[in-house]
């Protein structure tokens, strides 16, 4: 695996030597500097604001930074308009990476923190100078704590401190709820942003020129940027999206079945007629009985062709455990079932439908649970790049760890379309699954088994599984004894053999390129036409980097390697 340079060198390489990132940085920071300069200039040259300009550089800086903050206040919500992004994504995916919306949200937030620092610092100088020069008959503390601009500004700063500190990735991972609830302070932050200038601080009159009609100050003498007229639109759209989400979530939804897989995963099968999705997308789920307000994201594991929507939930966090308890399949029950299933599989790997299995899933029925199944609400679906799988001739699907879940839906969906003979451009699928220990994802294994068994064309789907965990000596002997001559892999019970260690991405992709160029991989491939090899990845970002460089290294005139990463 190519080692990414770290430290300063890595930073330079990442931010400036990657063309797309360099263009982004140039546009994003360039725009901000330009807006800052314009704000400065328009204040300094405005003759009507001559009195304020007596404060010199501090007022120019504060006005410039204020205009950049208006831009940031506009942009901060844009990447969060999930439903709108989902609509425009297919049309604009060439222009900007719509799946990096959270990343962009963070970049806006960083900028906002910086410019807020500049703006606030400058205003502290402004107000003390207003007091000293008495250009207006007021004291600094009155501007800070008696006027709209000061009050909303200080409140917004405090909200920012709370939101930023709880949004740190460590806190978010430890306790998503704290992040989630604190981030709703954004509502008050936005109100503060829109009303920040209502105090009419920027004026050419002696006193604020208030009027009795909206927006309660006259634009004749209050000469602010009136930026709320622009910044409010993403706010309104976002509010609309949240309302729409609430409406959509309230439409008839029924939890149809709960299945517990021997590996401990619960499969929730939900029926919701109004819910339309494509493979590889994810949804938010809410169970009011477990937690009144929380929405939790899960990958959809059913294919759009299935009559239900399913998600697989492992009981790892407190919400998922509470859900398990409520469904009558708490951790204890699951542990017992897992043990029983493992015991059964040790005794005899029973042959079912010609396939060995590790015990069946169990449906949670009324007897296990006197209260019946709880009400669930789902919201979504939300996007993922894997919708584009059918546009490339060769799809390389890479799932690492828990990131394998979206591929359940995608593989099922491919299988359905294969049966209908409607595969689009897709000719071959390489599925690569990297994980420490495959047994946690027992349900996924059984799914893979079904799909593998259903293949008629032996070349269409290739499954490659890499186990990165250190294998104990006993297991090693066990594998060696069981593997030789057996039709199925002893660990995964698939026909495909398991590999051990980390995959060597550059050689995987160069082999793929050579096979394609040699003509045996895709017989009849026209070397004059471009062949698209799409790599779709979901999992930790360390592997994403390695994959990205490995794929882009293989681009030739007739072979186009693309890479897309899915986020949670």
Partner 1 sequence: MGNLVWYEWAHYLGLTSAAYALWAGFWGLFFRKFFWDMIGGTLGPAGIIPGPGSALFVAVIVQVPLVQILTMILSVVILMLELPPLKSMKESFVYRNFMFKASLYFGLAFLSVLFYQGINAAIYSLVTIFAYTGAQLKGEMMPEQKANKGRGKGSEA
Residue 222: φ, ψ to 5°: -90, 110
Pattern of binders to partner 1 over 281-300, x per CB under 8 A? ----------x--x------
**Closest approach of Cβ 174 to partner 1, in Å?**
5
Q: Which of 31, 134, 254, 527 binds partner 1 (CB under 8 A)?
A: 134
Kindly tell me which of 161 and 340 has the beta carbon lying closer to partner 1: 161
Near partner 1 by CB under 8 A, which window of 25-33, 61-69, 165-173, 368-376? 165-173
Q: Is the CB of residue 127 less than 8 Å from the CB of residue 144?
A: yes
Here the tokens at position 148 are: 């709209």
Near partner 1 by CB under 8 A, which window of 155-163, 340-348, 368-376, 531-539? 155-163
Size of the site for partner 1 (CB under 8 A): 36
Under rule CB under 8 A, residue 522 binds partner 1: no
Q: What is the 3-state secondary structure (H, E, C) of 182-222?
A: HHCCHHHHHHHHHCCCCCCCCECCCCCCECCCCCCECCCCE
Binders of partner 1 in range 33-62 (CB under 8 A): none
Kindly tell me which of 323 and 410 has the beta carbon lying closer to partner 1: 323
Under rule CB under 8 A, residue 322 binds partner 1: yes
Sign of the torsion angle spanned by Cα atoms 266, 269, 274, 277: positive
Q: Which of 81, 118, 135, 162 binds partner 1 (CB under 8 A)?
A: 162
**Closest approach of Cβ 73 to partner 1, in Å?**
20
CA neighbor of 376 nearest in space, from 310, 331, 468: 310
Here the tokens at position 162 are: 């709370």
Under rule CB under 8 A, residue 155 binds partner 1: no
Kindly tell me which of 100 and 138 has the beta carbon lying closer to partner 1: 138
Under rule CB under 8 A, residue 177 binds partner 1: yes
**Closest approach of Cβ 317 to partner 1, in Å?**
9
Near partner 1 by CB under 8 A, which window of 67-75, 133-141, 229-237, 504-512? 133-141
Q: Which of 3, 91, 170, 470 binds partner 1 (CB under 8 A)?
A: 170
**Closest approach of Cβ 14 to partner 1, in Å?**
23
**Closest approach of Cβ 46 to partner 1, in Å?**
25
Q: Which of 107, 166, 198, 302 binds partner 1 (CB under 8 A)?
A: 166
Q: What is the 3-state secondary structure (H, E, C) of 493-541?
A: CCCCCEEECCCCHHHHHHHHHHHHHHCCCCCCCCCCCCEEEEEEEECCH
Q: What is the rounded distance in angstroms from the CA atom of residue 434 to the CA atom of residue 499? A: 9
Under rule CB under 8 A, residue 176 binds partner 1: yes
Under rule CB under 8 A, residue 326 binds partner 1: no
CA distances to 126, 222, 372 from 562, rounded to whole Å, are 52, 53, 47
Kindly tell me which of 5 and 317 has the beta carbon lying closer to partner 1: 317
Under rule CB under 8 A, residue 151 binds partner 1: no
Q: What is the rounded distance in angstroms from the CA atom of residue 296 to the CA atom of residue 137? A: 54
CA neighbor of 505 nearest in space, from 464, 475, 444, 566: 464
The structure tokens 């029950």 sit at 333
Q: Which of 110, 141, 230, 247 binds partner 1 (CB under 8 A)?
A: 141
Under rule CB under 8 A, residue 140 binds partner 1: yes
Q: In the chain, how long is the greatest CA-to-CA distance?
A: 94
Under rule CB under 8 A, residue 131 binds partner 1: yes
**Closest approach of Cβ 436 to partner 1, in Å?**
23
Q: What is the rounded distance in angstroms from the CA atom of residue 274 to the CA atom of residue 277? A: 10
Q: What is the rounded distance in angstroms from the CA atom of residue 336 to the CA atom of residue 422? A: 43
CA neighbor of 104 nearest in space, from 18, 28, 180: 28
Q: How many CA atoms lie within 13 A of 535 on its CB side?
A: 30
- Element (H or E) spanning 310, and its range? strand 309-313
**Closest approach of Cβ 552 to partner 1, in Å?**
36
Kindly tell me which of 105 and 172 has the beta carbon lying closer to partner 1: 172
Sign of the torsion angle spanned by Cα atoms 488, 493, 494, 497: negative
**Closest approach of Cβ 171 to partner 1, in Å?**
6
The structure tokens 């169970």 sit at 287
Here the tokens at position 266 are: 């619960």
Kindly tell me which of 155 and 271 has the beta carbon lying closer to partner 1: 155
Under rule CB under 8 A, residue 125 binds partner 1: yes
Under rule CB under 8 A, residue 154 binds partner 1: yes
3-state DSSP percent of the chain in helix, strand and coil, to 5: 50, 15, 35
Under rule CB under 8 A, residue 128 binds partner 1: yes
Under rule CB under 8 A, residue 174 binds partner 1: yes
Residue 138: φ, ψ to 5°: -155, 160
Pattern of binders to partner 1 over 530-549, x per CB under 8 A? --------------------
Near partner 1 by CB under 8 A, which window of 61-69, 85-93, 151-159, 190-198? 151-159
Q: Please list, in sequence order, all residues whose beta carbon lies within 8 angstroms of the beta carbon of residue 457, skipping any fewer than 6 positions away.
A: none
DSSP state of 564: E
Under rule CB under 8 A, residue 319 binds partner 1: yes
Q: Is the CB of residue 461 less than 8 Å from the CB of residue 451?
A: yes
CA neighbor of 250 nearest in space, from 148, 377, 139, 356: 377
**Closest approach of Cβ 70 to partner 1, in Å?**
21
Under rule CB under 8 A, residue 169 binds partner 1: no
Near partner 1 by CB under 8 A, which window of 130-138, 214-222, 343-351, 478-486? 130-138
- Element (H or E) spanning 434, and its range? strand 428-435
Q: Which residues bind partner 1 (CB under 8 A)?
A: 117, 121, 124-125, 128, 131-134, 137-141, 144, 154, 157-158, 161-162, 164-166, 168, 170-171, 174-178, 291, 294, 318-319, 322
């Amino acid at each position: 695996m190519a080692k990414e340079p770290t430290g300063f060198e890595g930073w330079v390489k990442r931010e400036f030597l990657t063309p797309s990132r360099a263009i982004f940085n140039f546009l994003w920071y360039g725009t901000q500097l330009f807006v800052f300069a314009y704000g400065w200039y328009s204040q300094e040259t405005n003759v009507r604001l001559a009195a304020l300009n007596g404060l010199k550089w501090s007022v120019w800086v504060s006005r410039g930074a204020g205009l950049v903050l208006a831009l940031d206040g506009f942009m901060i919500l844009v990447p969060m308009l999930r439903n709108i992004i989902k609509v425009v994504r297919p049309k604009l995916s060439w222009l900007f990476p719509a799946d990096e919306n959270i990343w962009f949200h963070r970049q806006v937030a960083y900028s906002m923190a910086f410019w807020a620092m500049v703006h606030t610092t400058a205003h502290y100088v402004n107000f003390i100078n207003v007091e000293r020069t008495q250009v207006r008959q007021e004291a600094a503390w009155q501007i800070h704590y008696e006027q709209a601009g000061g009050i909303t500004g200080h409140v917004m700063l405090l909200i920012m401190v709370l939101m930023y500190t709880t949004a740190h990735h460590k806190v978010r991972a430890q306790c998503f709820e704290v992040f989630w609830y604190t981030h709703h302070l954004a509502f008050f932050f936005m109100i503060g942003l829109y009303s920040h200038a209502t105090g009419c601080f920027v004026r050419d009159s002696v006193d604020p020129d208030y009027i009795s009609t909206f927006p309660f100050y006259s634009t004749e003498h209050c000469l602010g940027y009136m930026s709320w007229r622009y910044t409010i639109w993403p706010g309104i759209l976002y509010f609309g999206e949240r309302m729409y989400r609430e409406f959509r979530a309230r439409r008839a939804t029924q939890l149809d079945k709960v299945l517990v897989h021997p590996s401990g995963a619960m499969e929730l099968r939900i029926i919701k007629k109004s819910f339309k999705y494509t493979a590889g997308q994810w949804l938010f789920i809410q169970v009011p009985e477990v937690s009144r307000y929380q929405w939790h994201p899960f990958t959809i594991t059913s294919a759009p062709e299935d009559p239900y929507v399913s998600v697989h939930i492992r009981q790892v966090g407190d919400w998922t455990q509470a859900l398990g308890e409520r469904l009558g399949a708490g951790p204890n029950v699951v542990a017992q079932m897992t043990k029983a299933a493992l015991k059964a599989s040790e005794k005899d790997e029973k042959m079912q439908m010609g396939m060995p299995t590790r015990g069946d899933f169990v449906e949670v029925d009324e007897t296990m649970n006197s209260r019946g199944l709880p009400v669930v609400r789902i919201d979504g679906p939300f996007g993922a790049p894997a919708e584009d799988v059918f546009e490339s001739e060769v799809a390389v699907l890479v799932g690492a760890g828990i990131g394998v879940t979206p591929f359940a839906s995608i593989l099922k969906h491919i299988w359905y379309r294969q049966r209908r003979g409607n595969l689009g451009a897709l000719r071959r699928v390489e599925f690569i699954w990297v994980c420490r220990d495959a047994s946690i994802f027992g349900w996924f294994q059984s799914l893979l088994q079904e799909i593998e068994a259903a293949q008629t064309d032996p070349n269409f789907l290739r499954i490659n599984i890499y186990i990165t965990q250190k294998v104990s000596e006993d297991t090693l002997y066990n594998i060696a004894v069981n593997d030789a001559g057996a039709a199925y892999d002893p660990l995964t019970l698939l026909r495909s053999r398991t590999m051990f260690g980390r995959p060597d991405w550059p050689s995987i992709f160069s082999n793929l390129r050579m096979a394609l160029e040699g003509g045996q991989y895709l017989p009849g491939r026209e070397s004059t036409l471009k062949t698209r090899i799409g790599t779709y990845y979901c999992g930790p970002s360390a592997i994403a980097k390695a994959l990205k460089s490995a794929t882009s290294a293989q681009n030739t005139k007739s072979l186009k390697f693309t890479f897309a990463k899915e986020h949670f």
